[in-house]
């Protein structure tokens, strides 16, 4: 229960608005930093500047989903003011203060090490990743529809990776009639791809198969869409890379070869911020 808790929400994007709405009904007090451009009507919600916050009174902190930059800067879509967090601020919090972030960036890793505070990476949870894969897949389909001049129905689509995102993406594209292949490394994944009625491709043979593919969707957070693979692609191929920064594609070489490549980051926040925010709020409440 968080009825008596003081929750500090710092920056973020439209997803945080859904989080605020859910938490405001349960939390004792919510302090907002970086929301000065948004009108919110909750009796227990207070807007402050970072310099006004009494960190010693805070029980939980929700940071922007992308985490905190190496210079301590917190992203905020709803404020023109720069928000900079410091080690001193985190040291002032209660020892049992829980800090939530989408991912743990190098800055947060440092804070965790030097202050001993509990920092919880929300997106490392299987349930969050699986639920977020749904708006990610829908956003990927939207990009594919908008950026191509042919129907996705009947198009040859190869998905690289068969993890939580790759599986959902492959299933959605197959559902709209694409001819979907999935590049995997494990024999168990190969069997699962076959069970789903899709075509499995082993990564070591991918360069031989890629010539027939219209769309290549990468979900692997390693350098897998190499120069060699790009050279094997047809001239009209289209790459959508869903992997976290820096992605798994040689974007410079793809541009040099005239192959369109999009690094599609943060799709849940872009295509379904309400749903994405509700997922985060439910996890924090839990």
CA 82/CA 178 separation, integer angstroms: 45
Check for a shared fold between 6-124 and 128-270: yes
> How many degrees, rounded to 5, is the angle at CA 176 between CA 130 and CA 230?
80
Q: pLDDT averaged over the chain?
A: 94
> How many degrees, rounded to 5, is the angle at CA 219 between CA 174 and CA 236?
65
Q: Which CATH class is domain 128-270?
A: alpha beta
CA 159/CA 214 separation, integer angstroms: 11
At 110 the pLDDT is 96
Q: Is the pLDDT of residue 1 over 50?
A: no
Stretch 38-65: mean pLDDT: 93
Q: What is the pLDDT of residues 198-246, one digit of tens each?
A: 999 999 999 999 999 999 999 999 999 999 999 999 999 999 999 988 9
Q: What is the pLDDT of residues 102-141, one digit of tens each?
A: 999 999 999 999 999 999 999 889 999 999 999 999 999 9
* Confidence grade of residue 3 (pLDDT, cut at 50, 70, 90): low
CA distances from 32 to 28, 52, 111 (A): 13, 11, 21
Name the fold adopted by 6-124.
Answer: Rossmann fold (3.40.50)
The pairs formed by 230-233 with CB atoms below 8 angstroms and a separation of 24 or more are 230/254, 230/257, 230/259, 231/257, 232/207, 232/208, 233/259
What does the domain layout of the chain look like in residue ranges? 6-124, 128-270
Cβ pair 184, 153 in contact under 8 A: no
Q: What is the pLDDT of residues 12-34, one digit of tens each?
A: 888 999 999 988 988 889 999 99
Task: Match 């693979």 to its residue by tokens.
Answer: 229
Question: 266 in the Ramachandran plot: left (φ > 0), alpha (ψ -120 to 50) or beta?
Answer: left
């Amino acid at each position: 229960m968080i009825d008596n808790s003081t929750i500090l929400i710092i920056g973020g994007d439209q997803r945080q608005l859904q989080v605020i709405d859910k938490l405001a009904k349960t939390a004792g007090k919510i302090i907002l930093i970086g929301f000065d451009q948004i009108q919110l009507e909750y009796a227990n919600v207070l807007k402050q500047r970072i310099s006004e916050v009494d960190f010693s009174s805070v029980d939980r902190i929700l940071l922007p989903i992308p985490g905190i930059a190496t210079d301590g800067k917190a992203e905020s879509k709803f404020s023109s003011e720069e928000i900079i967090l410091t080690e001193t601020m985190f040291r002032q919090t209660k020892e049992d203060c829980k800090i939530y972030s989408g991912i743990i960036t190098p800055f947060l890793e440092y804070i965790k090490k030097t202050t001993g505070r509990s920092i919880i990476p929300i997106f490392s949870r299987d349930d969050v990743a699986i639920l977020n894969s749904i708006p990610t897949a829908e956003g990927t389909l939207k990009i594919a529809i908008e950026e191509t001049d042919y129907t996705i129905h009947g198009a040859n689509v190869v998905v690289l990776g068969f993890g939580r995102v790759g599986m959902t993406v492959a299933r959605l594209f197959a559902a709209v009639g694409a001819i979907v292949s999935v590049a995997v490394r494990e024999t168990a994944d190969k069997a699962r791809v076959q069970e789903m009625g899709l075509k499995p491709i082993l990564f070591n043979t991918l360069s031989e198969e890629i010539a027939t593919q219209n769309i290549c969707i990468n979900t692997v957070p390693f350098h897998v869409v190499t120069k060699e693979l790009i050279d094997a692609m047809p001239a009209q191929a289209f790459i959508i890379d869903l992997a976290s920064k820096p992605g798994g594609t040689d974007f410079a070489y793809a541009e040099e070869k005239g192959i369109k490549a999009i690094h599609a980051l943060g799709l849940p926040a872009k295509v379904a911020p309400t749903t994405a925010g509700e997922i985060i709020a439910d996890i924090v409440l839990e």
